[in-house]
Amino acid sequence: MNIKKILNAKLHSAMICAGIPRQFPPLISLVKSAGFGDFQANGIIAAAKMLKMDPKELANQVVLEFECTIEVETIDVSGPGFINIYLSNQWLSKRLEWMLSDKKLGITMVSYPKTVVIDYSAPNLAKEMHVGHLRSTIIGDAQARLLEFLEYNVIRQNHIGDWGTQFGMLIAELDETLKNKQVSKIALKDLELFYQQSKKHFDQDDAFAANARSYVVKLQSGDLQIKHLWQQFIEQSLLHIDDIYKKLNVSLSRKDVMGESAYNHDLPLLVKELEEKGLALKDKGAIVAFLDEFPDKNNKPSVMIIQKQDGGYLYSTTDLAAIRYRANQLKANSILYFIDARQSLHLKQVFCLARKAGFIHENLTLNHCAFGTMMGSDGKPFKTRSGGVIKLAELLNEAILKAEKSINSKSLNLSPDERKNTAIKVGIGAIKYSDLSKKRTNDYAFNWDEMLSLHGNTAPYLQYAYARIKSLLRKSEKSINTVEGRIKIINEEERILAIKLINFDEVLNTACKEAMPHLICNYLYELSKAYMSFYEHCPILKEEVKVITQISRLMLCNLVARTLKTGLNILGIEVMDKM
Ligand code: ARG
């Protein structure tokens, strides 16, 4: 069990023995500054207030009731009634050895089988992927990997935009190009250009526009020839996103694609059901649901259109069908949506209506894991100089080029192949980490220099820290066998590092619960800093160091390396043994 939970339980029973009502929790947290224990409990103060007692005195009573066992060395009181807990070095050593022996570093896994559906990435296939898709893709992927690591049953759902009126225009254009004997692979080589070309065509040529509109109708009614054209378009577009995912080291694959088109057959049934249940009605030719739960400025219920006047369905209708599929077919216990914060009302409405209609079971938890916008250095949403969208493929290539430049000037002992591989891992890692390390609900400014720096809270810094430890371990491997060794904590830097290491469990579990990957980033950065200070103060391979001390320290190094690698891999960032 997680040490914080153990201490919490023990302290809670000591509090009860000291006469504090059960409802007061100990409120234990990890201590950041030295001298106040490894953990501190602040819960006594609130209890004392309620009981009209002196908090310091009450804290002393709790300390008297606390049973020190193997984990705890000492416990004392400080300030107005804080309880400080110091872990025993003996217990710390044992814990670290056990973590080292476990292939998952002793992390607490989910205690019962739980299925989590994650909706992320979900680009619209009409165009190329652009920077606006980056955050959902990488934050969602980190959460999927984290849940999987903690042994949840994870189902990824890539709710791609592969349906709707735009596709009429695109396939009408494709039809014409194919008639001119082009093959779709070539015609669709640049999706962005193709989109612009067909839009221009659509705006300028009435016959073409009419044709495009008729294609939408035909597509929806299942016309085979039109469907075939549509499939060719979708296939080329999916090849493009496959490439991006591969380059980004994102774990989405074709089997996770469950696009808007997949729900098409269910939409008429769904609308009918909502009407029958009295949750939707005809209004000016359209079918709408009124939701009192979300009143607008004038205190009128918000309106959610589920079928347009012309019979077409909307983004909301598809999301309602998707939620019902996920609950009933995928048997989700929880669904996480990694979607831009600006879609928050849309999701609230979908969740609310789905519950009212009984599309989902009561125990299903729904979470909109919203995120802010990626800004440029001018503080406005990130765009090209001329104000256009930045293609993701170009951004990623630029990152790799920049990383390559810096590697070529620094890492002189790598072969050309190693340099290339390292540049990919560093460049992509830098982009992902700079995003993941910011609290997702905030906007953040995109900054090349900052993300590629070898100093500070960046991917290159952590990757470099990892490579350095690996190099140290390689040097020692020839002479020292750590497998049977013991960890002994002697000085303060070792102790600080040890406490950091055992805290990985708590960090991963909290980051998972809150879907906040920046907590993992902060942790890995602090861990590396604690390692650097340990490395400076605790000699390892020097001749004068006793062999048992060498072994113990190498074991700590090994555990740090494995923790860094595990943490970064959960974030979808690769490490390398040399850099
Ligand atoms: N395709 C949408 C967009 O690009 C995002 C879809 C998100 N997922 C969902 N279930 N609505 O904005």
Rounded Cα–Cα distance for residues 407 and 419 (Å)? 7
What's the pLDDT score for residue 32? 78
Structure confidence at residue 325 as a pLDDT band (50, 70, 90): very high
Nearest Cα to Cα of residue 167 among 213, 200, 122: 213
Does residue 49 fall inside a structural domain?
yes
The finding on whether 124 has its CB within 6 A of some atom of ligand 1 is yes
Check pLDDT > 80 for residue 395.
Answer: yes
Helix, strand, or coil (residue 402): helix
**Mean per-residue pLDDT, 410-427:** 91
The finding on whether 507 has its CB within 6 A of some atom of ligand 1 is no
Which residue's C-alpha comes closest to atom 9 of ligand 1?
A: 159
The finding on whether 168 has its CB within 6 A of some atom of ligand 1 is no
Does residue 38 fall inside a structural domain?
yes
DSSP assignment letter at 483: T
Does residue 236 fall inside a structural domain?
yes
The finding on whether 162 has its CB within 6 A of some atom of ligand 1 is no
CB 126 within 8 A of CB 166: yes
Final residue of a domain: which of 214, 241, 256? Answer: 256
φ and ψ of 225, to 5 deg: -65, -45
Residues 456, 457, 463, 468, CA torsion sign = positive
Class of residue 140 by CB neighbours under 10 A (exposed 0-12, middle 13-18, buried 19+): buried
Rounded Cα–Cα distance for residues 479 and 377 (Å)? 51
Rounded Cα–Cα distance for residues 43 and 5 (Å)? 15
Helix, strand, or coil (residue 146): helix
Q: Bridge-partner residues for 466, per DSSP?
A: none
Q: Bridge-partner residues for 74, per DSSP?
A: 86
Tokens for 389?
Answer: 């969208």
Check pLDDT > 70 for residue 451.
Answer: yes
Residue 318: its H or E element: helix 315-328
Distance, CA 292 to ligand 1 centroid (Å)?
Answer: 25
Check pLDDT > 90 for residue 502.
Answer: yes
What's the pLDDT score for residue 412? 74
Helix, strand, or coil (residue 529): helix
| pLDDT tens, position by position, 533-577 | 999 999 999 999 999 999 999 999 999 999 999 999 999 999 999
Does residue 398 fall inside a structural domain?
no
Distance, CA 121 to ligand 1 centroid (Å)?
Answer: 8
Final residue of a domain: which of 27, 52, 87? Answer: 87
Angle ∠(119,143,150) on CA atoms, nearest 5 = 120
The dihedral region occupied by 285, where left means phi > 0, alpha psi between -120 and 50, and beta the remainder, is: left
The finding on whether 11 has its CB within 6 A of some atom of ligand 1 is no
What's the pLDDT score for residue 410? 83
| pLDDT tens, position by position, 142-197 | 999 999 999 999 999 999 999 988 999 999 999 999 888 778 778 788 888 899 99
Which has the minimum average pLDDT: 38-52, 174-188, 289-303?
174-188
Could you tell me which residue, 221 or 404, shows the higher pLDDT? 404
The dihedral region occupied by 352, where left means phi > 0, alpha psi between -120 and 50, and beta the remainder, is: alpha
Does residue 477 fall inside a structural domain?
no
Residue 417: its H or E element: helix 416-436
CB 470 within 8 A of CB 510: no
Distance, CA 405 to ligand 1 centroid (Å)?
Answer: 36
Q: Bridge-partner residues for 288, per DSSP?
A: 281, 305
Rounded Cα–Cα distance for residues 197 and 180 (Å)? 15
Give DSSP secondary structure letters for 435-467.
HHTS-TTS-EE--HHHHH-SSSSSHHHHHHHHH
| pLDDT tens, position by position, 465-494 | 999 999 999 998 766 666 678 999 999 999
The finding on whether 339 has its CB within 6 A of some atom of ligand 1 is yes
Q: How many domains does the chain have?
A: 2
The pick from 119, 344, 347 for probing ligand 1's pocket by mutation, whose C-beta has the most ligand atoms within 8 angstroms, reads 119
**Mean pLDDT for the chain overall:** 93
**Mean per-residue pLDDT, 404-428:** 91
Final residue of a domain: which of 67, 87, 107? Answer: 87
Angle ∠(399,438,388) on CA atoms, nearest 5 = 50
φ and ψ of 313, to 5 deg: -100, 165
What's the pLDDT score for residue 481? 64
What's the pLDDT score for residue 545? 93
Does residue 46 fall inside a structural domain?
yes
Which residue's C-alpha comes closest to atom 5 of ligand 1?
A: 122
Does residue 82 fall inside a structural domain?
yes
Rounded Cα–Cα distance for residues 406 and 461 (Å)? 13
| pLDDT tens, position by position, 91-101 | 999 999 999 99
Check pLDDT > 70 for residue 71.
Answer: yes
Terminal-to-terminal C-alpha distance of the chain: 36
What's the pLDDT score for residue 480? 66
CB 172 within 8 A of CB 194: no
> Cα 475 from chain centroid?
35
Which residue's C-alpha comes closest to atom 8 of ligand 1?
A: 159
| pLDDT tens, position by position, 108-129 | 999 999 999 999 999 999 999 9
| pLDDT tens, position by position, 197-236 | 999 999 999 999 999 999 988 998 889 999 999 999 999 9
The pick from 121, 340, 343, 351 for probing ligand 1's pocket by mutation, whose C-beta has the most ligand atoms within 8 angstroms, reads 343
Does residue 153 fall inside a structural domain?
no
What's the pLDDT score for residue 187? 79
Q: Using a pLDDT cut of 90, give the percent of the chain over it.
A: 84
Domain assignment of residue 67, given as a range: 3-87
**Mean per-residue pLDDT, 257-284:** 96
Which has the minimum average pLDDT: 295-304, 319-328, 434-443?
295-304
Which residue's C-alpha comes closest to atom 4 of ligand 1?
A: 123
Distance, CA 236 to ligand 1 centroid (Å)?
Answer: 20
DSSP assignment letter at 303: E
Distance, CA 375 to ligand 1 centroid (Å)?
Answer: 20
Nearest Cα to Cα of residue 317 among 278, 372, 269, 368: 269
> Cα 192 from chain centroid?
28
Strands, E, within 348-424: which ranges?
365-368, 374-375
What's the pLDDT score for residue 479? 64
Strands 82-87 and 72-78: antiparallel
**Mean per-residue pLDDT, 513-541:** 97
> Cα 410 from chain centroid?
31
Nearest Cα to Cα of residue 342 among 514, 130, 132: 132
Angle ∠(424,428,432) on CA atoms, nearest 5 = 165
Rounded Cα–Cα distance for residues 81 and 359 (Å)? 51
Residues near 10 by beta carbon (within 8 Å), at least 6 away in sequence: 66, 67, 69, 72
